[in-house]
Amino acid sequence: MPTLPPAQAPFGGRESHQAREIAESFGADPDRYDRARPRYPGALIDRIVARIPGSDVLDVGCGTGIVARQFGAVGCRVLGVDPDARMADLARRHGLEVEVATLETWEGTGRAFDAVVAGQAWHWVDPVAGAAKAVRVLRPGGLLAVFWNVFQSPPDVAGAFAAVYRRVLPDSPFARGGAGTSGPDAYREVCARAAGGMREAGAFARPEQWRFDWDRSYTRDDWLDQVPTSGFWAQIPAAGQHKLLAGIGAAVDAAGGSFTMHYTTVAVAAARTAAAWPAPG
C-alpha cells in the first residue's frame, strides 16, 4: 500500500490505466498481497448491498478475491475479472469464479449483474470505457461502485518513513510527498475521473461520493509485509528494496514496535438507469 504514491503518480506522461506493466505486476507475490492488503469496511459492503436490486456482483480487478470474499460473506454471487492469471489462480483457490481479462476486453456474453464493483483497481481501468462496459452488464437500478483504501499514518511515523525514502530513493514521489501520509485528498483526482466516466457513459444517475473512516494497528512485521505490495515496488532495484525495508523497520521500532494507521475508504457510486434496457452486449 498504497497503489498510488501520495502525489501525482509518475506514469511517464500516461494515464494510470495505460501503465499496464504496473497494473499487472501485483501477481509477483499473490500470497503476500492476499495476506497483507487491508480489507474494506463492512459499512461499505452493507451500503452497496442495500442499494442493489439483487445479489449478482461483478468484481473488476478482483486480484486474489479480497473484495469478492467480503461480498460472498453477505450472500452475494460474485464473478471476478482480473488481467493477471497469477492473482486469478489464488482467487480460484479461495473458491471464487474468475475470468482473466481486462474489463475493457472482457465479454459479458449476455450476462447481467446487480453491482459492478472495484476495490483499489478502477484507476487501472479506462474510466470512460469501464463505465460504458458497466452500463452494458448492469440491470436497471444496479450500481457501479468503485473504491479505494487511503492511508494516513501518525505524523511522527509518516515523517520517519519519508526520511527513509529521501535517504534511499531521493527522487521517489514517496520522499517528496511523505510516505504514509497521503490522506483522502490524494485520491480526489482519481475519484473525479471515475465520476466523470460515469457521467460520460450517459446511463447512470448522478454519481455519489462516500467516505468511511477506520483504524488498523500494525506491528513492525505486519507493516513490512505489506510494503512490497505496492505497484511501484517492482520498479525499485533490489538493493534499494532491502534498504527501504531495513529503514522502515527501524522507524517502526523507534515508534515502539507498532503504530495505528488511519484509513479512509473513498468510494464513487452511481446507479444504472432504466433507459435503453436491455443494453447491447
Give Cβ neighbours of residue 17 (< 8 Å, ≥ 6 apart).
23, 123, 124, 125, 126, 127
Phi and psi at residue 125, to the nearest 5°: -110, 140
Asked which of 18-22, 50-54, 59-63, 168-172 is least confident by mean pLDDT, the reply is 18-22
Please determine, for residue 56, whether its predicted confidence score (pLDDT) is greater than 70. Answer: yes
Instruction: Give the pLDDT confidence of 195-221 residue by residue, as tens digits.
Output: 999 999 999 999 999 999 999 999 999
Angle in degrees, 0-180, between the axes of helices 238-254 and 155-168, rounded to the nearest 10: 150
- 16-153+181-215+263-271 has which CATH code? 3.40.50.150
Q: Give buried/exposed letters for 67-91 (b at 16+ CB in 10 A, else e).
A: bbbbbbeeebebbbbbbbebbbebb
Q: How far apart are CA 230 and CA 227, in angstroms?
A: 6
Given strand 77-82, what is the order of strands in its sheet? 97-100, 77-82, 56-60, 113-119, 138-152, 258-271, 208-219
Please determine, for residue 58, whether its predicted confidence score (pLDDT) is greater than 70. Answer: yes
* Element counts in the chain: helices (H) and strands (E): 11, 7
Question: How does residue 171 score in pLDDT terms, banded at 50, 70 and 90?
Answer: confident
Amino acid present at 85: A
Is the CB of residue 92 less than 8 Å from the CB of residue 142? no
Please determine, for residue 114, whether its predicted confidence score (pLDDT) is greater than 70. Answer: yes
Given the C-alpha cell 486469478, which residue does it identify?
88
